[in-house]
Amino acid sequence: MAAHLLIVEDEEKLARFIELELKHEGYEVTKAYDGREGLRLASDNSFDLILLDIMLPGLNGLEVLRRLSQTNPTPTILLTARDAVMDKVSGLDAGAVDYITKPFAIEELLARVRVALKLHGRVGAANLGGADAASAEEGVYTWGSLRLDEKKREVKFDGQSIALTNREFLMLETLLQNKDIVLSRDTLLEKVCGYDYVGETNIVDVYVRYLRTKIDDAFGVKMIQTVRGVGYVIKSEE
Ligand code: CA
């Protein structure tokens, strides 16, 4: 039984990015882009956790929180702008369980979501249940003798473990999830470094090089293909 989260955030790109990450973690996700819609959804449904932006069109996040606390109180994490101290205080007063300051690293948000669900949630995190045989292969991606298991966070080639850093793992996982789709450096960068990463996209090339050293060179294969001027792809085997 996956926890069901509501995101209320008017920056659609950010909302979609958070949605993808949460779904990837196994949560169910519903989105609203303004305060009134968020309030309506939260009042009519039973969410396990709400991620609520404060600066919203229509009805601001604090007002949503206040109205909700009277009708259908739901554990809520506020998304606040930097230095909005009063918002944080008012938000916690109004019943928010936590807040996170923008811009944030997605790993931090995911960690706070896990904690909030554990402390306040109705069903707990999706991935904490015991996996049965049918779902044992869920989250496992393969390419030839390579096997990536996202739950165990491990990569093996012919049963032999390959030690990857967090970003190398994310990069490989993203490419394996999108087999036969050429991913641009921007897409990979967003996935690996977060949507608000500011820096050189050639960092993607660096991680691809690390992966090639650890996998292609070590096991004599050619897994990650370069598509000149576009990006990278892992192709299904012929
Ligand atoms: Ca906003």
CATH number for the domain harbouring residue 228 = 1.10.10.10
Domains of the chain: total: 2
CATH number for the domain harbouring residue 85 = 3.40.50.2300
Q: How far is the CA of 35 from the centre of ligand 1 (A)?
A: 10
> Is residue 114 located within the same domain as residue 135?
no
CA dist 1 → 68, 174, 236 (Å): 24, 25, 32
Residue 121: the pLDDT is: 63
> Is residue 37 located within the same domain as residue 112?
yes
> Is residue 96 located within the same domain as residue 134?
no
Q: Is residue 82 part of a domain?
A: yes
Q: Is residue 125 part of a domain?
A: no
Q: pTM value?
A: 0.53
Q: Which residues hold their Cβ within 5 A of ligand 1, which is an ion?
A: 10, 53, 55
Which pair of structure tokens corresponds to residue 149?
Answer: 């298991």
Domain with 172, as residue range(s), is 130-234
Tell me which of 87, 119, 151 is where a domain ends. 119
Determine which of 20-34, 75-89, 130-144 has the lowest per-residue pLDDT on average: 130-144
> Is residue 107 located within the same domain as residue 137?
no
Reduced to 3 states (helix: H, G, I; strand: E, B; else coil), residue 138 is coil
Asked whether 223 and 143 are in contact (CB, 8 A), the reply is: yes
Q: How far is the CA of 26 from the centre of ligand 1 (A)?
A: 25
String of DSSP letters for 182-228:
PEEHHHHHHHHH-TT--S-TTHHHHHHHHHIIIIIIHHT---EEEET
Q: Is residue 29 part of a domain?
A: yes
pLDDT tens readout for residues 154-199: 999 999 999 988 888 989 999 998 888 888 888 888 877 776 666 6
> Is residue 145 located within the same domain as residue 114?
no
> Is residue 220 located within the same domain as residue 113?
no
Q: How far is the CA of 3 from the centre of ligand 1 (A)?
A: 24
Determine which of 6-20, 48-62, 88-102, 199-213 has the lowest per-residue pLDDT on average: 88-102
> Is residue 77 located within the same domain as residue 154?
no
Q: How far is the CA of 71 from the centre of ligand 1 (A)?
A: 24
Residue with token string 């298991």: 149
Residue with token string 């007002």: 63
Residue 193: the pLDDT is: 76
Q: How far is the CA of 77 from the centre of ligand 1 (A)?
A: 14
Residue 15 has pLDDT above 50, yes or no: yes
Q: How far is the CA of 99 from the centre of ligand 1 (A)?
A: 14
- CA pair distance 173, 177, nearest whole angstrom: 6
| 37, containing H or E segment | helix 35-44
What is the residue type of 17? F
> Is residue 214 located within the same domain as residue 171?
yes
Residue 29 has pLDDT above 90, yes or no: yes
pLDDT tens readout for residues 40-68: 999 998 899 999 999 999 899 999 999 98
